[in-house]
Protein backbone atom coordinates (compact mmCIF):
# COMPACT_ATOMS: atom_id res chain seq x y z
CA UNK A 1 0.00 0.00 0.00
CA UNK A 2 1.19 3.46 -0.76
CA UNK A 3 1.05 6.49 1.58
CA UNK A 4 -2.02 8.00 -0.11
CA UNK A 5 -4.03 4.81 0.37
CA UNK A 6 -3.05 4.60 4.02
CA UNK A 7 -3.88 8.28 4.56
CA UNK A 8 -7.30 7.89 2.92
CA UNK A 9 -8.02 4.78 4.98
CA UNK A 10 -7.16 6.64 8.20
CA UNK A 11 -9.35 9.60 7.19
CA UNK A 12 -12.23 7.25 6.33
CA UNK A 13 -11.91 5.40 9.65
CA UNK A 14 -11.86 8.70 11.57
CA UNK A 15 -14.88 9.97 9.65
CA UNK A 16 -16.84 6.78 10.41
CA UNK A 17 -15.80 6.91 14.09
CA UNK A 18 -16.96 10.54 14.41
CA UNK A 19 -20.24 9.73 12.62
CA UNK A 20 -20.87 6.74 14.91
CA UNK A 21 -20.18 8.89 17.99
CA UNK A 22 -22.42 11.68 16.67
CA UNK A 23 -25.36 9.38 15.88
CA UNK A 24 -24.96 7.47 19.14
CA UNK A 25 -24.86 10.64 21.26
CA UNK A 26 -27.51 12.83 19.60
CA UNK A 27 -31.09 11.86 18.80
CA UNK A 28 -32.09 13.26 15.38
CA UNK A 29 -35.69 13.72 16.61
CA UNK A 30 -35.25 15.44 19.94
CA UNK A 31 -31.71 16.79 20.34
CA UNK A 32 -30.93 20.45 19.82
CA UNK A 33 -28.60 19.51 16.96
CA UNK A 34 -29.98 20.31 13.51
CA UNK A 35 -29.85 17.21 11.33
CA UNK A 36 -30.33 17.54 7.56
CA UNK A 37 -33.87 17.12 6.25
CA UNK A 38 -34.78 14.92 3.30
CA UNK A 39 -35.19 17.14 0.24
CA UNK A 40 -37.45 14.62 -1.51
CA UNK A 41 -39.82 14.48 1.49
CA UNK A 42 -39.84 18.27 1.90
CA UNK A 43 -40.71 18.78 -1.79
CA UNK A 44 -43.17 15.91 -2.35
CA UNK A 45 -44.47 14.76 1.03
CA UNK A 46 -43.47 11.19 0.13
CA UNK A 47 -40.77 9.23 1.93
CA UNK A 48 -37.68 8.27 -0.02
CA UNK A 49 -35.87 4.98 0.65
CA UNK A 50 -33.48 6.81 2.97
CA UNK A 51 -36.06 8.62 5.12
CA UNK A 52 -35.65 7.59 8.72
CA UNK A 53 -32.09 6.31 8.28
CA UNK A 54 -30.62 8.87 10.70
CA UNK A 55 -33.17 7.93 13.36
CA UNK A 56 -32.67 4.22 12.62
CA UNK A 57 -28.88 4.56 13.05
CA UNK A 58 -29.35 6.36 16.35
CA UNK A 59 -31.68 3.67 17.68
CA UNK A 60 -29.43 0.90 16.34
CA UNK A 61 -26.43 2.37 18.16
CA UNK A 62 -28.52 2.61 21.33
CA UNK A 63 -29.40 -1.09 21.02
CA UNK A 64 -33.09 -0.42 20.32
CA UNK A 65 -33.41 -2.76 17.34
CA UNK A 66 -37.20 -2.73 17.10
CA UNK A 67 -37.36 1.07 16.90
CA UNK A 68 -34.50 1.08 14.39
CA UNK A 69 -36.46 -1.36 12.24
CA UNK A 70 -39.60 0.81 12.53
CA UNK A 71 -37.73 3.96 11.46
CA UNK A 72 -36.26 2.41 8.30
CA UNK A 73 -36.50 -1.34 7.78
CA UNK A 74 -34.34 -1.27 4.65
CA UNK A 75 -31.47 0.54 6.40
CA UNK A 76 -31.76 -1.81 9.38
CA UNK A 77 -31.64 -4.91 7.17
CA UNK A 78 -28.86 -3.47 5.00
CA UNK A 79 -26.31 -3.14 7.82
CA UNK A 80 -25.42 -6.87 7.98
CA UNK A 81 -25.34 -7.04 4.16
CA UNK A 82 -22.94 -4.08 3.95
CA UNK A 83 -20.71 -5.57 6.66
CA UNK A 84 -20.68 -8.91 4.84
CA UNK A 85 -19.82 -7.27 1.51
CA UNK A 86 -17.01 -5.29 3.14
CA UNK A 87 -15.60 -8.39 4.78
CA UNK A 88 -15.86 -10.38 1.55
CA UNK A 89 -14.10 -7.63 -0.41
CA UNK A 90 -11.30 -7.31 2.12
CA UNK A 91 -10.86 -11.07 2.46
CA UNK A 92 -10.53 -11.39 -1.31
CA UNK A 93 -8.11 -8.49 -1.53
CA UNK A 94 -5.84 -9.52 1.32
CA UNK A 95 -6.30 -13.26 1.30
CA UNK A 96 -6.74 -14.92 -2.07
CA UNK A 97 -8.07 -17.97 -0.27
CA UNK A 98 -11.62 -16.52 -0.42
CA UNK A 99 -12.12 -15.23 -3.98
CA UNK A 100 -15.42 -17.08 -4.54
CA UNK A 101 -17.06 -15.54 -1.48
CA UNK A 102 -16.34 -12.01 -2.65
CA UNK A 103 -17.28 -12.73 -6.24
CA UNK A 104 -20.59 -14.34 -5.27
CA UNK A 105 -21.64 -11.33 -3.19
CA UNK A 106 -20.72 -8.68 -5.73
CA UNK A 107 -21.45 -8.12 -9.32
CA UNK A 108 -24.36 -7.62 -11.64
CA UNK A 109 -26.91 -9.86 -9.92
CA UNK A 110 -26.37 -8.44 -6.44
CA UNK A 111 -26.63 -4.91 -7.86
CA UNK A 112 -29.96 -5.75 -9.53
CA UNK A 113 -31.27 -7.29 -6.31
CA UNK A 114 -30.23 -4.24 -4.27
CA UNK A 115 -31.78 -1.77 -6.74
CA UNK A 116 -35.00 -3.81 -6.92
CA UNK A 117 -35.19 -3.98 -3.11
CA UNK A 118 -34.74 -0.20 -2.87
CA UNK A 119 -37.51 0.52 -5.40
CA UNK A 120 -39.89 -2.02 -3.86
CA UNK A 121 -39.28 -0.57 -0.40
CA UNK A 122 -39.71 2.98 -1.73
CA UNK A 123 -43.07 2.22 -3.29
CA UNK A 124 -44.49 0.01 -0.54
CA UNK A 125 -43.53 2.34 2.32
CA UNK A 126 -45.52 5.14 0.67
CA UNK A 127 -48.51 2.97 -0.20
CA UNK A 128 -48.80 1.23 3.19
CA UNK A 129 -47.44 4.10 5.31
CA UNK A 130 -44.47 2.49 7.02
Instruction: Report pLDDT digits (tens) over 53-96.
Output: 999 999 999 999 999 999 999 999 988 877 777 776 666 555 55
What average pLDDT score do residues 100-111 get?
Answer: 62
Q: Enumerate the domain spans of the chain.
A: 37-128
Predicted confidence (pLDDT) per residue in 2-33, tens digit: 888 889 989 999 999 998 898 899 988 887 77
Residues 54, 46 contacting (CB under 8 angstroms): no
CB 61, CB 28: distance < 8 Å: no
Alpha carbon of 39 to those of 26, 59, 64, 71, 119: distances in Å?
21, 22, 27, 17, 18
The region of weakest confidence among 32-36, 98-102, 125-129 is 98-102
Model-level pTM? 0.73
**pLDDT at position 125:** 93
Q: What is the DSSP string of 15-55?
A: HHHHHHHHHHHS-TTTSSS-PPPPHHHHHHSSPPTTTTHHH
Contacts of 105 (CB under 8 A, 6+ apart): 84, 85, 88
Q: Residue 89 has what pLDDT?
A: 64
Amino acid sequence: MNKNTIFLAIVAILFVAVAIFFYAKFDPESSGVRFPKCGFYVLTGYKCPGCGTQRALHHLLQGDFLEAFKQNALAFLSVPYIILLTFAHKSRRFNEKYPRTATALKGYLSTLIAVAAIFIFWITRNIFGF
